[in-house]
Amino acid sequence: MRQRADGLGTADQRREQMLQAALEVIVERGYMDTRIADVAERAGTSPALVIYYFKTKDQLLTEAIRFAEDGWYETGTSRMAGIDTAAGRLEELVAMCCLPEADDTSWLLWLDLWTQAARHPAVASVRQKFDERWRDMISSVVLDGQETGEFGLVDPADFAAVMSALLDGFAIQIALEDPVVDAGLAFELSMNFAAKELGFTWIPRHNARRREAAGQQAASERAARYGARADR
């Protein structure tokens, strides 16, 4: 098998291209309106090959979100490595959830995942593992803060359960572009809650409104691109 410079062989490279194509199509059209043929066309391959790799559309959805999540965690771990306080690392995680990035479409994908998980046990099992991973990451930051004396003596698992549920709730408002609970407000409310529960003084590192405005501009540009593509 041929190898790329990054160590991925031809088969792995092809699979990655299909996953990236699936992410783009699902965000653009929604899971229910996405067809295997659409993903194949975007990836420049055949529907038969997509089915060979992923078997079903549900599996393609979960694997695409897993691919996106792995990239998200890799980015988060890299960002947190340069922050020397647990409070700062927790804020970075909350910012990555609440404040839009130029190419961030993760909440739209999660809306589709949640919908499918309610009716499909296999998707529900994957969703459960994703949430466990997320709560574990929050718990580890809390434990770090308790060890350094930054955070009070709360149960890290309980805090992670509540914090993750809070962020999931705000995610719906953010993804649907709610005019009252926008990304900036969700970020501030989440951090105020965390500071109160963990007993630390929050000194913001992020300009929530500036990042939100940049994210909204990027979302508008992305929507315009998708609209132009759909009109072809």
Under the banding of pLDDT at 50, 70 and 90, the label for residue 128 is very high
- Domain 1-55, CATH homologous superfamily name and number: Homeodomain-like (1.10.10.60)
- Least confident range from 11-15, 107-111, 121-125, 218-222: namely 218-222
What are the residue ranges spanned by the domains of the chain? 1-55, 58-230
Three-state DSSP string of 75-126: HHHHHHHCCCCHHHHHHHHHHHHHCCCCCCCHHHHHHHHHHHHCCCHHHHHH
Left if phi > 0, otherwise alpha if psi is -120 to 50, otherwise beta: which for 43? alpha
Please tell me if the domain spanning 1-55 has the same topology as the one spanning 58-230.
no
What's the pLDDT at 212? 47
pLDDT tens-digit series, residues 172-206: 998 888 999 999 999 999 999 999 999 999 988 76
Residue 22 pLDDT > 70, yes or no? yes
Once rounded to an integer, what is the mean pLDDT over residues 149-177? 94
What's the pLDDT at 189? 96
Mean pLDDT of the chain: 84
CATH of domain 58-230: 1.10.357.10
Quickly list H helices, the chain.
10-29, 36-43, 47-54, 57-81, 86-98, 106-117, 121-147, 156-175, 183-198, 208-230
What's the pLDDT at 103? 53
